[in-house]
Amino acid sequence: MKMMKKEGLGWIELIRGWSCVIHEFLFQRFMASHLQNPLPLPSLNHLTCIVTGSTSGIGRETARQLAEAGAHVVMAVRNTKAAHELIQQWQNEWSGKGLPLNLEAMELDLLSLGSVVGFCNVWNARLSPLHVLINNAGIFAMGEEQKFSKDGYEQHLQVNHLAPALLSLLLLPSLIRGSSSRIINVNSVMHYVGFVDPDDMNVVSGRRKFTSLVGYSGSKLAQVMFSNVLLKRLPQETRISVVCLSPGIVLTNVARDLPRYVQVQYALIPYFIFSPQEGCRSTLFSATDAQIPEHCEKLKTDDKPICTFISQDCKHTKPSEEAHNIETANRVWEKTMELIGLPLDALERLIEGQEVQCRYGTHQE
């Protein structure tokens, strides 16, 4: 007997999912009360980190704090002028505290998969090791109508999932050189209310009504599912950890897209909402905690088809029930590879150091 195709989350799953979202909103400050702000970091002089979307919000704080701890930080951003201005500002503020900060800006537009390929080609051509890739950039165009990138994909899907997936895969040669490196995906508690139909990832079939919430939560769930499969498929000898995390509910530039009356409500509830400095703690923890690689290795050999998921209070937690769906996750993997223009065996070939053709440009070593 053929199984009926799942068209969305059931009522019980939705109730559980929304209870997780509400719980995080109401209690995140209490749950994270044991954390210092800012989060103390060890010396990171040996690390090279790429941080996407690092001119505002969580990404901006992440880049600054990593650099102040000694890391070489690459700000991968659309607006390199804004990044250079920030770098100058940070250097001035840091003056006299130690060696100049090791920061640079590189252009990357996640709404263009061709830009992702170009960025990876420029970076990989250096033949330098990459120790930490932080896929931080994301969008949540609350209340807006459905929009598509020039590549033809729904904007939440492309920025929050497809572009970071392509970036992570094409940077594998540099991550392997990093030896014990990490792919860190800034995800969201909203993935608990997300649903992904691998046959309709753009949400255009009409089977589900598109809203910005559907687009955002679905893209975040797709990222977790893809990360689950990626961790399982990476051979142990690559020594690459894959982590998804929730930064908590944070007052960032996402709020600028909110309707005016919601922005007002946002401003009235600062007690519950994290500042970007508080919101970046789970990212910094995921990037630097010494136990993360060991935890990832354990999950890789475990029966559970999940990657490491770090909650906003810097503790290990589990992604949503739907994220545990192995069959859907494998289909999301295959569909993602198709959408980002890579062959299904791209992962294996990239690990072996072979050149891979991408529909959006040639990936070069």
Angle, vertex CA 328, rays to CA 184 and CA 173, nearest 5: 35
Strand order in the sheet with 308-310: 103-107, 72-77, 48-52, 132-135, 181-186, 240-245, 308-310, 316-317
Tell me: cis bond preceding 38? Omega within 30 of 0 counts: yes
What is the three-class DSSP state of 148?
strand
Instruction: Report how far residue 128's alpha carbon sits from residue 67's, in angstroms, rounded to the nearest whole number.
Output: 18
> Which amino acid appears at position 249 of this protein?
I
Token representation of residue 249: 């509910």
**How many CA atoms lie within 13 Å of 298's alpha carbon, on the beta-carbon side?**
7
Token representation of residue 181: 């490196």
Instruction: Report how far residue 242's alpha carbon sits from residue 181's, in angstroms, rounded to the nearest whole number.
Output: 9
Kindly name the residue from 153, 192, 216, 271 that is annotated as catalytic. Answer: 216
DSSP 256-276: GGS-HHHHHHHHH-TTTSBPH
Is 216 labeled as catalytic in the residue annotation?
yes
Instruction: Report how far residue 61's alpha carbon sits from residue 45's, in angstroms, rounded to the nearest whole number.
Output: 18
How many of the other CB atoms lie within 10 Å of CB of 151? 18
Buried b (16+ CB within 10 A) or exposed e, 22-39: eebeeebbebbeebeeeb
Single out the residue of 53, 103, 110 nearest to residue 77, CA to CA: 53
Q: Catalytic residue positions?
A: 216
